[in-house]
Each structure stands twice: as structure tokens, then as C-alpha cells.
Amino acid sequence: MASDYDVIVIGAGTGGYVAAIRAAQLGLKTAVVEKQKALGGTCLLWGCIPTKALLEHAHALKIVQHAKEWGLAIGPSVSIDMNQVQTRKDRIVTGLTKGVEFLFKKNKIDWLKGTARLTGNGGVDVFEGEKQTLKARKEIIVATGSSPRSVPGVEIDGKRIITSDEAIHLREIPKSVAIMGSGAVGVEFASIFRRFGSEVTILELLPRLVPVEDDAVSAELEKSFKKQGITSHTGAKVTGARATADGADLDVELADGRAAHLHADYLLVATGRGPVTTGLNAEGVGLQMEKGYVKVDAQYRTNVPGISAIGDVITLGGPGHPQLAHVSSAEGIIAAERIAGQEARPLNYDHVPGCTYCDPEIGSVGLTEREAKARGYDVRVGTFPFGVLGRAKMAGETEGFVKIVADKKYDELLGVHMIGLRSTELVAEATAALRLESTVEELIRTIHAHPTMAEAIGEAAHAVHGAAIHL
């Protein structure tokens, strides 16, 4: 195998493999270094794909649980076979990782198995068994991603105090699960475990669930979770956690200052993810780092010429670079095109859609009402409940709403937030509208097919201007 490439990508997650494909499409000889046994990174192996597969299982169970209402005759009791769940989930994951392998072959991208170490001047050493020495003629793209990160006082043992990496492989249905953190990972697993039959308790440090979402979305989710029997403690601090033989003991300081002790079969730590740079020798080649993240500019160049970085491992300076598969992919494409000599247009991070697959699911893009006000906009909002729609009634899913945040001055669309059935799909329309710099009136004049959940978007737009039609 030749050891000289135009581009060497380190990491085959959704950032790295997409960057590699784009680079290869543009005629660059490209290699990807990946230490895992399969391609696809966190998204395919432990993240988006397996968790959403589990959520689909939970949804299937939900339908069956409500069989009577649907007029379906199913035996006296309903249960779920976790072995079959895992088998089906693994089949989906394997299928998709093989798909990436196929794309590599098709684009003549070399996959070098092993751990990469930067050696300077375009050099990369790959360790697995023996050392291979590679050289990048044009650029190295660091796309090493992130891994679950705990907080002080809570040590992950991988058995009883676990992260999402372990949770996706559980073959038993725990009687009880405590979940630290109510970001996407926390609330998705809350939905999965609750549907499968576990007692679920969420412990969130901040005053509301899904803290990055609009306040109204948080409130709606909290209401729905309560109805489903999920216990949520917001403003609650976990001060200590100990794994025991059959579970985990937690010390919690509740919002009102009371101390509480909790026991659960498992403690799932979903408090965030941190950068992965182990063995990379980032400092050794002089990469500027910020709190462990690789610092890049808007074109994903590091301070070292010839080294770019994308995805979960980067910071653009300032807070909150979103750790999302689709953001990494978008960054990978921009970096690859820039390396190939094309014009690179910076991403607008205000237009990144976010999808959370809890039940009811959440889709959002753009500014929340709170953020819009903080930026000084003269904010107008319009909200329309899904429950009014025929499509929602048919599906038996009448929770949630679409909320549009707009600027009064120019009727500018600033954000669209939804919670409820198909919200993760509906957000696509809102994302396109934001990207195209739509006004609210354009959304009003856009025909929304009937009967669909999307009608709620048009109606919420009407609501911004005064009144929805069907309310």
C-alpha cells in the first residue's frame, strides 16, 4: 500500500468519512485512519443509529401496548425480547457500516486500521501491530470525535454506572434507571427505558429538561414525561455516586436544597461528551488547544499549516460548537472542498437543525424565543398545537406543537421549534426556510399538504401574524 496521500483523514465518523469521500470525489488521493473495527464512528456504532433503532423498537412496543385502541387483537400480555432487539439493532448498524466500506471502495479511499499519531510536516504514523508511516502531501484532517464524559464525583465503571456506549448494549430491562443529564442522550434513553418498562428518574442540573431547546418545548416534554411516569428532578445536583453489586447509589441535592438518596439498577451518565485526542500527539506538533479541543478557524484550519480539524473534536473559540453528526459532515465537506481549491463558505451555526428522538420527539432550528430576545430582536411568536390536526389524531399522537419565533421589524423567521410526532422530519422545512432567509409571510403562502403534520408549520406562521385558521 502506498504511503503517500494528498489527504489523510484521522477518524472515520460522520465527519471524517464524509470529508474523505468529498476529497476523493474532487480527485484527491485519500486515506482514512480508524482504530475501530468498523467505519462510521460514534454516530453509526454507538450514537444516532443504534439509539434510534432502539427508539423504533420502543415505538413498536407502544403501538402494541395500545393494540386495543387500534382494534388489534394481540395475546393477553405483551412483552419485548431484548435479545431480538439487540440482534435487529446490530443488523442495522452492521448494514450501515458496510455501506461506508462500500463507499470507500467506490471512491478508492484507503482505510488504514490503527491509531494515528501526528509526526509533523504532513507525517502520520499508524500503529496497529507494526507501525506504518504515512505522508500527506496536501492536508491532514483531524476528525477524532468525542466520547462520553462524566462529571467530578461520578466515576464510570461501565457496569452499573454507565454511559450511552454501554446502554445501547443492555440485554436486560432494568427495573430502575437513574439518568444524569437531560440533553438529547438523557431524554432519549429515558424514553427507551420507560417504554420498555423501567422506572426512570432524570436528574438535571439546570432548571429545565432539554436545556438547549425553547422554554416552551422543555415545559411540554416535562409534562409529557410526567404523564408517562418518568420522574424528572430539575435543578438537581448529583453530589456523589457509588456502584454496588446490583446497582448504583446516588447522593442528590434537590432544587429546594434537600439532600436525597437514590438507588437504581443503573446510573446512566449523559452529561456531555469530551474531545478524543489520546495518542494523537496534538501538542507535540504544536496544535493550539482550548480545554482539550482543537482550535480551528471558520474554514477548519488549525494553527499548524497542513492540518485541519472538524467535528466533535474542534472548537471555533467561544462556547457551544454543536456536537452533531450532520454538523461534522457539513464541516468535512467544507474542509475537503477548501483543500481541493474550491471556495469555502462558512457554516451558519444559527441554522443547524437539532433533532431529539425522545417521545414525543423534538425538532428545532434557529433561535429560541429567549435567545432572540437576548439578541435584541423585537420578537413575535406563533404557536399551533399538533393535536388539532387530523393527521395527529389518526396516529393517536396529539401532544406537542410548532412554535415560530420571528422578528417583527422585517418579519424575519428566526427560529422554529417543535415537539410532537414527526418533528424530527418537519424541521427540514424550517431549516430550508431559514437558510433561504424566509419571512414568516413566505411560510404562510407556502402550501402545506393536507392531511400532514406539516400543516402545523403553516398554521403557526399564521399565528405569528395574528391568528391560525384552524384554531
Partner 1 sequence: MPQMGESIAEGTIVRWIKKVGDKVDRDEPLFEISTDKVDAEIPSPAAGVVSEIRVKEGETVPVNSIVAVIGPASAGADAPAAQAISPGKAAEPKTPPAPAVKAPEPPTPTPQADGSPTAAAKPTPEPPPAPPPPKPAPDQEPKPATESTEDLIRQRSSPLVRKIAKEHNVDISQLHGTGIAGRVTKNDILGFLDKGAPAPPPPRPATPAPSGPTFKPGALDSVEKMSPMRKRIAEHMVLSRRTSAHVHSVFEVNFSRVAQAREKHKAEFERAGAKLTYLSFIVKAAVDALRAVPVVNASVDDDSIVYHKEINIGIAVALDWGLIVPVIKHADEKNLLGLSRAIADLANRARTKQLKPEDVQGGTFTITNPGVFGALFGMPIINQPQVAIVGVGNVEKRPVVIDDAIAIRPMAYLAIGYDHRIVDGAVADEFMSHVKKTLESWDPNVV
Q: Tell me how far CA of residue 142 lies from CA of 59, 332, 336, in angstroms.
A: 37, 10, 12
DSSP E strands, 216-371:
231-234, 237-244, 247-253, 259-264, 266-269, 273-275, 289-290, 293-295, 307-309, 314-315, 354-356, 362-366
**Which of 133, 348 has the CB closer to partner 1?**
348
- Report the alpha-carbon distance of residue 22 to residue 197 in Å, rounded: 44
**Which of 255, 432 has the CB closer to partner 1?**
432
Task: Assign 439 to helix, strand or coil.
Answer: strand
**Which of 102, 410 has the CB closer to partner 1?**
410
Least separation, in Å, of the C-beta of 170 and partner 1? 46
Please count the other Cβ atoms lying within 10 Å of the Cβ belonging to residue 4: 12
351 and 431 in contact (C-beta within 8 Å)?
yes
Continuous H helices in 66-181: 67-70, 82-106, 164-167
**Which of 158, 346 has the CB closer to partner 1?**
346
Binding site residues, partner 1, CB under 8 A: 345, 410-413, 436-439, 441-442
Task: Assign 57 to helix, strand or coil.
Answer: helix
The single-letter DSSP state of residue 454 is T
The single-letter DSSP state of residue 76 is S
Pairing mode, if any, of strands 4-10 and 130-142? parallel
Least separation, in Å, of the C-beta of 380 and partner 1? 14
- Catalytic residue among 66, 263, 450, 470, which? 450
**Which of 174, 366 has the CB closer to partner 1?**
366
**Residue 401 grid coordinates:** 406543537
- Report the alpha-carbon distance of residue 387 to residue 155 in Å, rounded: 43
Task: Assign 60 to helix, strand or coil.
Answer: helix
**Which of 69, 343 has the CB closer to partner 1?**
343
**Residue 184 grid coordinates:** 438529547
**Which of 136, 413 has the CB closer to partner 1?**
413
Continuous H helices in 176-323: 184-196, 215-228
Task: Assign 385 to helix, strand or coil.
Answer: strand
Report CA Rg, the chain.
23
**Which of 345, 370 has the CB closer to partner 1?**
345
**Which of 251, 442 has the CB closer to partner 1?**
442
Task: Assign 292 to helix, strand or coil.
Answer: coil
Least separation, in Å, of the C-beta of 366 and partner 1? 13
Least separation, in Å, of the C-beta of 396 and partner 1? 37
Q: Is 270 exposed, middle or buried (0-12, 13-18, 19+ CB in 10 A)?
A: buried
Least separation, in Å, of the C-beta of 152 and partner 1? 42
**Residue 276 grid coordinates:** 478524543
- Report the alpha-carbon distance of residue 324 to residue 189 in Å, rounded: 17
Least separation, in Å, of the C-beta of 249 and partner 1? 53
Q: Tell me how far CA of residue 22 lies from CA of 46, 52, 58, 308, 346, in angstroms.
A: 24, 26, 36, 15, 17
**Residue 359 grid coordinates:** 417521545
Amino acid found at 276: V
Least separation, in Å, of the C-beta of 409 and partner 1? 8
Least separation, in Å, of the C-beta of 326 and partner 1? 19
**Residue 213 grid coordinates:** 431547546
Least separation, in Å, of the C-beta of 435 and partner 1? 9
Instruction: Reply yes or no on whether 450 is catalytic.
Output: yes
**Residue 242 grid coordinates:** 457509588
Catalytic residue numbers read 450
